[in-house]
Amino acid sequence: MLAIMTSIHALAAVVWVGGMFFAYMALRPSVGPLEPPARVALWARVFGKFFPWVWMAVLVLLASGFWIILVEWGGFAAAGPHVHLMLLLGLVMMGLFGHLYFAPFKRLRAAVAANDTPTAAKQIGTIRMIVAINLVLGLVTVVVGAGGRHLG
């Protein structure tokens, strides 16, 4: 069971952090030539497809992470400092994503539906900032999660 839980934990991390990497490093620099109305509508569709996967990743990371600690290891006493740090970073990322989803993303969808391109572009700017922070935190969390046990 530990093998399965660790594997789905790593898969969820790949989906979330890899998706942010693609959005920030490949898609964002490629949408410049589009007219603003088409650009904001594209981002609204892209986020609409990606964010359900992020919610799934959040659930899987929490469920599998706590399973490993509580069921496999018998409690937090057996968890090294890298695991506490991963949990902290993970919770910060999840809080930022929750805010992003229920504040700027909600406003983005409303603005796109109302053909209000300047408001939509502003929300995308906010989302871009939060995703930049979460991308850095996510890459650090992968290092902590995958490499941390070899440092203790």
Tell me how far, at minimum, the Cβ of 63 lies from ligand HEM, in Å.
8
Q: Which residues in 115-138 are b (16+ Cβ under 10 Å) and which e?
A: ebbebbbbbbebbeebbeebbebb
Determine the interface stretch with ligand HEM among 39-47, 48-56, 57-65, 121-129 (rule: CB under 6 A).
57-65
Is 130 a binder of ligand HEM (CB under 6 A)?
no
Q: Pick from 44, 60, 61, 112: which binds ligand HEM (CB under 6 A)? A: 61
DSSP string, 100-111: HIIIIIHHHHHH
Distances (CA, A) of 46 to 32, 41, 53, 144: 15, 9, 12, 29
User: Which of 23, 86, 111, 127 contacts ligand HEM by CB under 6 A?
Assistant: 86
Interface with ligand HEM, residue 44, by CB under 6 A = no
Block residue for tokens 């871009």? 128
Tell whether residue 141 is a contact of ligand HEM (CB under 6 A). Answer: yes
Minimum Å distance from CB 48 to ligand HEM?
A: 21
Query: Pattern 6-25, binding to ligand HEM, x per CB under 6 A?
Result: x--xx--x---x--------
Q: In the complex, what is the shortest distance from the CB of residue 89 to ligand HEM, in angstroms, rounded to a whole number?
A: 6
